[in-house]
Amino acid sequence: MTRPSDEQLRAILVDMVGARAQAGRLWNLQRQGQIGTLAPIDGHEAVVAATAHALDPASDWILPQYREPLALQRFGPEVLDQYMLYNIGHPDGSRLPPSVRVAPLQISLATQIPHAVGLAWGMTLRHQPGVTTVFFGDGSSSEGDFHEAVNLAGVLRAPVILLCVNNQWAISTPLHQQTAAESLADRAVGYGIPGVRIDGNDAAAVFDAVDEARQLALGGGGPTLIEANVYRLGAHTTADDPTRYVPAEDLRAARTNDPVHRLVSHLADLGLWDDGAQAEIEAAALVRIDEAFERAMARPLAADAVFDHCFLTDTPRIARQRATLLAAGPHGHSISPRSTDE
Amino acid sequence: MAFIFRLPDIGEGLEEAEIVEWFVAIGDEVLRDQPLVEVLTDKASSELPSPVAGTVLLLGADEGTRLQVGEVLIEIDDGSTAPKVASEPLSTQTSPTKSQPPTPLPEVAPLTARPKAAPATRRLALDLGVDLTTMIGTGPGGRITVNDVHAAAPASTSTGGLSNDDSTASDGLGQAAAGRHALRGIRGVVARNMTQAWTEIPHIHTMDEVDASLLIDFRDRIRDMDRSGATRVSVLVVAAVATARALRRFPVVNGHVDGHPGDAMVIPEHIHLGIATATKRGLVVPVVHHADTLDLFTMADRISSVVGAARSDDLSAADLSGATFTITNYGSLGGRFATPIIPPGQGAILGLGAVAERPVAIDGEVVARPTLPMVLGADHRLIDGDLAEAFRRAVADDLAEPLHLLIGS
């Protein structure tokens, strides 16, 4: 059992509070038409930030799903830059960043799990230290990719931490319609690997579970399936209206267990946190996201970049479309997210 | 100079939104991220925050009107020197607008003579016998849309059914200028739902009149009670309590047929009553959840609260969803019998006519008695005549003698 130190807990909370503040700004940017559809992090802050702090950014990999980046600050500022590029629809947002060990987002459910197992197995074959942690949701745990990848991970004893963030909702499908199982962690038994179920709103519990899984993986003990229970505190995405299906009383109850409020209250009791500190941290986080947004908007983008990343050489249809777009003249450049009017 | 904020596509592929409420006026100073306006899209109602700080110069549309994605929502003087515009990011760049696309896609001469249309649109054209090669579409760059194909089809395939139970008591009832009007907002929802219900559900109706003497006496005596909410107890409220009791007795009437043409019968765990309500915007059916757990006074409170919210357009999506059975009190507008249409996703509907003194034969004598006409509309796939009549009679018995409400069902 590895309890995070008070200093570690405070560092985790700094990232959580920053993520929460940035999530508000991100939502506004979307509502202002400046960025595309995105999945808010609200309710996932503790499980993501505490996981990042239990890992070593110099040797360990994180493969996110699509809700995590704002709380992955510990792995480097490039994570936020990549995320903002992604959010404005720039193809560079989907590249593997050269300098940080955080993969691009995956929108196709569960596809990152086989990637993670492959990456972890590759690290073993190359005798590289470190573990791979992959985030996915309760909905993804019903996908074939999950079962195939976790089974293979067990067979290979791949150094991978399978982190299922169970936020009780797969878009509008509640957990009880997702599975008849009492716990998603129980599935680990069938793959011959350890499975643990933790309170994902408890940053210390997350840190402890991830640390233990990491030590096991580093020692050659193979994968661990962690089910971290949280509650999605907002919309599934900016294109979703959860008031249509999330019972108001359930959401109210979940808000009393808000991971940010819990850790704030714990650290405030220890005299390690106060409103002034929080305001400063929020302000700094907002500056960081504004700057990352500005950098993303300033990133050059070829008018025909949209055609660049599907095929090595253009198919006849793509070639025709690329030529048509380029022939369109100056308007062809008006794709830039912040274009001047007319 | 003005920062021009155009209506963004805040969902995935939205085309337009209705301006529900402006939070700012021309001349107001606004901060960045300050909420400017509430808009209603096909998906949800959302607040749009300001992209910049500055002074409001122009509001692009009046409350209650609709804007196409890409049209000017608001102009704000942010002190900058060149006109700027918040436009959509690459990933959601779809702005098909019939009238003046704001950042027009380039007019591109087609490289081939192939009509521009999506595969699904081509398929529809084939089905409807529409020749796409002769058409110019209204979509971006002349792309032919599904609507274009429908418009060009020999016989219009658009639907626009008006039902008989959506009359409103509002101002402007039945008023509209000559011409063709798209059915939008609530009108469009009602049209779609009623068409679906009328074409999918084989309706049967059973109707009768209940002697309402004791019911009216019961209601009046409760209203005289010195108790909060007593004055809100109405015939509708008593009928709702009686209906919830009867639904508990006959769960099938609370159920519905799922799938088309009907693969399964679904019996819900709970009883949630929809209360059909005429509003200025059209027919709205707010829901009283867990109706079978409510006593008379709570039922009166809940109905009064959701109907009030429906009329002031203050309902949440949850208030509008989940009904398992609907009551339409068409009698509040007058009328004796009607044949109400069952909402999609439900199996039956209760209609209440106007209470009035009518001749009734009692022991060979014709006497004047207040009577309540009532109708049960039922989905015949689920409910036969015997069950429909048994259910209607169960409600009628409680209304004819409200003391039944004291006795466990």
Q: CATH code at B85?
A: 2.40.50.100
Please state the domain count of chain B. Answer: 3
For domain A6-298, give the fold.
Rossmann fold (3.40.50)
Mutation target to probe the A interface, by most A beta carbons within 10 A, among B72, B91, B114, B287 is B91
| A32: nearest CB among B8, B91, B93 | B8
| Rounded-to-integer distance, Cα A258 and Cα A254, Å | 7
Q: What is the pLDDT along chain B (409 residues), one digit of tens a residue?
A: 689 999 998 887 788 898 988 999 999 999 999 999 999 887 678 899 999 999 999 999 998 888 999 999 999 999 876 555 554 444 333 333 333 334 434 343 334 456 778 777 877 787 777 778 777 788 777 788 888 887 777 653 333 322 223 333 445 678 888 888 877 777 888 888 899 899 989 999 999 999 999 999 999 999 888 887 788 899 999 999 999 999 999 999 999 998 766 689 999 999 999 999 888 777 889 999 999 999 999 999 999 999 988 888 778 777 888 999 999 999 988 889 999 999 999 999 999 999 999 999 989 999 999 999 999 999 999 999 999 999 999 999 999 999 998 886 5
Residue B287, domain member (yes or no): yes
Q: Do B89 and A33 touch (CB under 8 A)?
A: yes
Catalytic residue among A157, A236, A262, A288: A236
Owning domain of residue B290: 202-406
Same domain, B76 and B38: yes
Say whether B203 is catalytic: no
- pLDDT tens sequence across A190-225: 999 999 999 999 999 999 999 999 999 999 999 999
Residue B223, domain member (yes or no): yes
Same domain, B144 and B246: no
Residue B389, domain member (yes or no): yes
Residue B310, domain member (yes or no): yes
Q: Which residues contact B107 (CB under 8 A, 6 or more apart)?
A: B141
SS3 state of residue A25: helix
Catalytic residue among A67, A232, A262, A288: A232
* CATH number assigned to the domain comprising residue B126: 4.10.320
Q: Do B108 and A327 touch (CB under 8 A)?
A: yes
Q: Is the ipTM of this complex over 0.90?
A: no
Cα four-point dihedral sign A105, A108, A109, A110: negative
* CATH number assigned to the domain comprising residue B386: 3.30.559.10
Same domain, B133 and B208: no
Using CB atoms within 10 Å of the CB of residue A163, give its burial: 0 to 12 exposed, 13 to 18 middle, 19+ buried: buried
For β-strands B35-40 and B16-22, DSSP reports them as antiparallel
Same domain, B61 and B126: no
Residues 37-56 of B with CB under 8 A from A: 43-44, 46-51
Given a contact cutoff of 8 angstroms between Cβ atoms, the answer to whether A21 and A278 are in contact is: no
Residue B157, domain member (yes or no): no
Residue B113, domain member (yes or no): no
Residues of A in contact with B108 (CB under 8 A): 324, 327-328
Q: Do A33 and B86 touch (CB under 8 A)?
A: yes
Residue B279: predicted pLDDT: 83
Residues of B in contact with A33 (CB under 8 A): 5-10, 51, 86-89
- For residue B351, give the nearest of B360, B359, B343 by alpha carbon: B343
Locate the domains of chain A by residue range.
6-298, 305-342
Position A224, amino acid: T
| B93 at A interface, C-beta within 8 A | yes
The first and second tokens of residue B106, run together, are 């380039």
The first and second tokens of residue A22, run together, are 């940035």
Mind giving me the DSSP string for A301-313? --TTGGGTTS-SS
Given a contact cutoff of 8 angstroms between Cβ atoms, the answer to whether B231 and B304 are in contact is: no
Residue B104, domain member (yes or no): no
The first and second tokens of residue B222, run together, are 């409760």
| A306 at B interface, C-beta within 8 A | yes
Residue B144, domain member (yes or no): yes
| B12 at A interface, C-beta within 8 A | yes
| A34: nearest CB among B43, B86, B318 | B86
SS3 state of residue A11: helix
Catalytic residue among A245, A295, A320, A333: A245
